[in-house]
Structure 1
């Protein structure tokens, strides 16, 4: 409890310390926004990046932002259906002229996007040598998917997801995932047992302002766990400072699994204070496809709530934020009747559980919203404070956060209130950066950040990982030099991680027959499942890259980066069953930290009618950690009584390389039309000499996505109507090649055939006031009800038989899904 009190006091200090500043050097920014025809645009968002200042245009296209301190800023104008425009301003002694914007119809001006993830301070995407893709609130709102990661996968080439049903998607970037992809929520590391296969993200997808994906090592800023990249999620904050109440309500229904979702937010802001309340609730029953019918135990119930308050002075701002996530999540185990292939229900365990004679799940259970008693319960709490203030000609930002993740997995059919896995993770995140005054066209940032963690089993019967404590500390320096068409950036960082834990004993409880933790000194006859841990990892991260702006529309980029990652607790010390994953894990205490050395070369082109990108990457990893299945002498999987397979972590050299490309066309002779295409190719190889030339028997890495391409056409319509100003339709082809480069060694993976999925969409804005419109989105995913299995779907391997009457094994992905989504701003 002392840790909690210290954190609370620290949060209060960081929140209130900078609240008093002189009211001097305040400036007013005004201007107008119009379209390509010179007509004023209302409801355009005007944001001063990396600050809390912003406004919206009125019916005449005019905006006004007051009380802005002196400095140099990037000002962004954005509106749904229009390209983003960003302009630089310097507020000082001179009188500032009005700053006007002209927005064009095409939403493809990616070079002018302002990014905040993976950089020390907000900057334009075209100035950053590392590939970073932004996904706007409009794209998030228009997408109808089961979770936020699936939304991002549709919009970011090179981003894929390992899935365990509709609501669990773990992000993978260029073939790397788990603790190699760092997820940030409002700049705070998301810490929630990322080592698990079925452990998804604990965020509210209905209340995100924007998402950004960094493709490549970002260890320089964030430390361990970002060797593959970063997924940054930014929550909504008030834009208007008019002293009025604003809000938004979202509701959706998805026909395949009956998903019902509702989310909303309320916000108020004036020149000094801003307040936001957010909340959402989603529930779904079992999803269905043409092969499996309804997939038993694939439903969920999820609730979110959050609140933010922010104080802004002439020198900067401080915000205090709290979030709550609660999810009841079913996980299928794949057991079936051998002849009918209907799903069966576990009603016993151990030797009494006969996998071949479980009772068939009745249709009433398959079609109900009621979850099985065998499910997961995930809760995530987050309390954090952030500050950003100018100090002389420089600036400083700081963050302090506390989060708790509680994960309980229930897998005992005769003791449904007894969790099999029950882990509680407490994390304190800290960080402070100082941005030195710009000199000789150079921006320099120095900083420290890290975290302290405690993880413990609370009331469990299975123990895949031990109790442990972890402390991370890192120090870094970054510099960015700009001169004419050149931007060069780089830096260096040093990290150190201390990992400790006491001896962890287990024994069988004679009353229940379950395993339980045995506490010293009462350990007679107990099993030492996890010996004590006292380990230190450390590493140096480096980065150097540059961009050359050939013209305002064309940029060349190159970057080389060395990333660092310490082994996670599962890789290092696992020794037991994760009941939700249906996997018995085995770690390795001889592991060394992973290091990646990645080269990126890219070219970006963007104008109002054409947008194209091409990125080539090569990533060499030393001490690469991967998972393979263990088999017996006959080559059969080693399993327990419930069919749970055993996997062992290994370490070797590895190489991943590939390309990503996008092309978007918006011909001027077809107003509102866009033709968008994306391609991602990733190859992954185990470079251990013993596997050289072995192909699928060890040379290929596991969980490498197949060649993936998307092609879509969208047509927007503008009407001379007071109630129906815009509408749109779209058609998309999601093309996945066969994956014949897989890890077949020890039956770890199997071949995956290729497939093409077609999706259609339609939408409209229905204006109900001068500045607000109801947004309607209709979508049909997997239009032709194609039966397919994604190569990265874990459900593909949820199978207990070696053959089936239909010739199909494992669980298939979701079939046709017709959905509707409504967003009502007010």
Structure 2
């Protein structure tokens, strides 16, 4: 009997020394609806919530744990929790379209000091317009540089092209970003989540991220076991678009698989004008239809993944193909004959562009105790061509034997590797260490010359640290070192040499100009710092501030371009003496959130000691029929602005949204009369939207909303050299959306109209602005989303 009581004493004593606790919780949304099968990660422990949103994790020792909770369509939870007793959490995940703070009852969570906007797949499907960049324009500080009807590039705080990084699954997208005449080779219908990171929040992405980062996440683990997916059908009236996307997911224990496919076909788009003026030529627009702006695109995406308590890995393979025509009046010398109707609005004739983007990405995460290691590997092959009927200004130039109508041909191969170590020390301290490397190889062909062949490499190290001084205050620090090397090939143009000799140039002079690109081998080093702080004054008021240095390595096009770029309507010439852009950035965000009212104001300023841009020289090009020479140059510059966002819901049904942006920038030179604004600056703008939730519940219809919206752009008269003043405008739109549920059939319908009154207006950053071509006319778009297996 004594032995029994001794054993019981030892058992109780040992249990008291190594006390075991449990964590339970209930996960739901703001409407108190349970979120079944939500994913819970507690250090290296993984659980899935029940169909009622409940979970339980037992046998936990006293410690600080890193807690992550995710659910598709809602913003993730990411915080530190101390376990020293049995704890129950009531967790509300926010489903707002914009990034909202995840709420845990009785606790405040401040995730980052950076300015970040996050949208989920439901938001992107609702706002889909044909391109990813255009679908994000309602977010503060985001604009789109449109290229016809099917593609666009993002502009963040007035920055675009090579000053914005687009990254998919942590791998930087590479595809001749310098070109204003083509968009992103990313399928907008396949994007599961997108984040806009602004200012110094881009320190982890390096060169080209001065303006910010558009981060695409396509590696979410499916919520449910078995088969699920979605069919998305789209139609547009402005150019008779027909398209659709198909997504299929399968999950079996730790393994999951995804297949996505999409395709669109569209015709020449409608513009509300009958005449345009280009280079003093009056060019008619027949039937108010812009000839040869038809196009098509296809996308295939496959992913296999494994997700366990200690390891997650995905392998993604995608291929995006796009073909789109150029308005014939935008290439070469204007001609009325070339814009005569051909009787087929879906025909894609010369000139046109074609691009194919193949991508392999592998992402792996190893979960350790209070830490994780992320490894990202990527290979990309971007093949871009511009086709135009063979023409030459040199009498001795012969058409190529193969593909004689390929004017420009770029084949860019990119290799990426990133290794990041994340460590959570305790409730107060969290660090990240990373190493990144990239190799690029660009090959060229075609009967015209613009950009030489080159190879480049980059090696970078970065570190960030977050210090939570209190529950209300978060401080972040970061540093980054980059080493870049670029090797540009020589390009000698014998056709130009013969042309100049025949026109009386000396051999020495002809040789000088015929060397279109000199060999160049340069190395660059850069060291950058950032710091930020975020403080919650109360449950309603919050402020964050960030400051740091910025840099950007000059691109091959800026260093070595030397040719007529018909896509941009000019002779562009690089400068191999350009230095890396260097500058300072600071931004501030003040926000107020209370119940159904939200407001924020975000002023920012960027200073550059040497901002690089394309500037007209006032000199005529030596190339025949090339006109004025535009040369890449650098100048001290200031860019500043403010973003304002206000949202208010009345009576739980009526929501009012207003997003405004003011941008001011200027070159800073010793000659004050030449301190022009910088190129491609969006006009100051205001977007407003009023939406009404028709009824809370209906037998067959749910989440039914009607909306009206308006976008106002101020007159853009602060223009760079060579640009045109763009008049102010206001356009209006309307929308309707609802979820249909009938027996076992479910669908979501989005119906919207843009430019409702078919107004004629110009977008200052549009590709076709130089030709006085207005933006697209009235468009009615219908999309139908049919989920299955959910």
* TM-score normalised by the chain length of structure 2: 0.85
- 1:587-639, CA deviations, whole angstroms, 9 ceiling, x for partnerless residues? 0011000012011111122233011111111110111001123434xxxx769
The correspondence of residues 219-618 of structure 1 with structure 2, limited to 5 A, is 219-235=202-218, 237-242=220-225, 244-292=226-274, 293-334=288-329, 355-356=334-335, 358-362=337-341, 364-365=343-344, 368-412=345-389, 418-439=405-426, 441-457=428-444, 459-484=445-470, 485-508=472-495, 527-618=514-605
Query: What is the alpha-carbon distance in structure 2 between the residues aligned to residue 75 and residue 209 of structure 1?
Result: 17
The CA distance in 2 between the partners of 1:46 and 1:390, in whole Å, is: 15
Secondary structure of 1:570's counterpart equals: helix
Which of residues 654, 657, 677 is equivalent to 1:673? 654
Q: After superposition, what is the alpha-carbon deviation per residue over 1:381-421, rounded to whole angstroms, capped at 9, x for unaligned?
A: 11111111123432211111111100011012577753111
Contact 2:329 2:335 in 1 (8 A): no
- Match of residue 668 from structure 2: 687
Aligned partners of 2:44, 2:486: CA distance in 1, in Å? 37
Are 1:297 and 1:331, in contact at CA under 8 Å, matched by a contact in 2?
A: yes
Cα deviation 1:530-570 (Å, max 9, x = unaligned)? 22111011111110010011123321111101111100111
Q: Is the 8 A contact 2:43 2:66 kept in 1?
A: no
Counting only pairs closer than 5 Å after superposition, residues 621-700 of structure 1 correspond to structure 2 as 621-632=608-619, 646-667=629-650, 670-690=651-671, 692=672, 694=673, 698-700=675-677
Deviation at 1:29, TM superposition (A): 6.9
**What do the CA deviations read for 1:515-535 (whole angstroms, capped 9, x no partner)?**
xxxxxxxxx999432221110
Q: CA distance change for structure 1 residues 817 and 67 in 2, over 3 Å: closer, same or farther?
A: farther
Are the structure 2 counterparts of residues 206 and 312 from structure 1 closer, same or farther at C-alpha, using a change threshold of 3 Å? same
Separation in structure 2 between the aligned mates of residue 590 and residue 555 of structure 1, nearest angstrom: 45
State the alpha-carbon separation in 2 of the partners of residues 249 and 106 from structure 1.
23
Change (3 A) 1:488 1:582: same
Match of 2:53 in 1: 62
CA distance in 2, matches of 1:525, 1:535: 22
Provide the residue aligned with 1:170 in structure 2.
153
Higher relative contact order (CA 8 A, sep 6+): 1
In structure 2, do the counterparts of structure 1 residues 453 and 51 end up closer, same or farther at CA, with 3 Å as the change threshold? farther
Structure 2 Cα separation of the partners of residues 464 and 385 of structure 1 = 34
Match of 1:185 in 2: 168
What SS class does the counterpart of residue 289 from structure 1 fall into? coil
Are residues 1:204 and 2:187 paired?
A: yes
Partner of 2:688: 711
- 1:140, distance to aligned residue in structure 2 (A): 0.8
The answer on whether the counterparts of 1:185 and 1:232 sit within 8 Å (CA) in structure 2 is: yes
Q: Deviations over 1:27-79 (max 9, x none)?
A: 9976353654x5x4567866769999786874xx4366999999412324565
Larger-Rg structure:
2
SS in 1 for 2:457: strand
What is the match of residue 151 of structure 1? 135
Secondary structure at the aligned position of 2:711 is classed as strand
Q: Give the 3 Å change call, closer, same or farther, for CA 413–687 of structure 1 in structure 2.
A: same
**SS of match in other structure, 1:560:** strand
Give, in whole Å, the separation in 2 of the partners of 1:686 and 1:813. Answer: 29
Query: 2-side partners of 1:285 and 1:529: how far apart?
Result: 38
Q: What is the Cα-based RMSD across aligned positions, in Å?
A: 3.3
Say yes or no: does 1:821 pair with 2:783.
Answer: yes
Instruction: Tell me whether 1:765 sits opposite 2:744 in the alignment.
Output: no
Query: How many angstroms apart in 1 are the aligned matches of 2:212 and 2:384?
Result: 25
- State the match for 1:803 in structure 2: none
Q: Is the 8 A contact 1:502 1:533 kept in 2?
A: yes
For structure 1, the 5+ residue unaligned runs are 1-24, 115-123, 336-345, 511-523, 799-809
Contact 1:77/1:101 (<8 A) preserved: no
The change in CA–CA distance for 1:198 and 1:655 in structure 2 (over 3 A counts) is: same
Aligned to 1:722: 699
What residue in structure 2 maps to residue 791 of structure 1? 764
Q: 1:69 to 1:704 in 2, by over 3 A?
A: farther
SS at match of 1:462: coil
Secondary structure in 1 matching 2:537: strand
**CA distance in 2: counterparts of 1:56 and 1:369, whole angstroms:** 50
Q: Taking structure 1 as reference, are residues 672 and 579 closer, same or farther at Cα in structure 2, changes over 3 Å only?
A: same
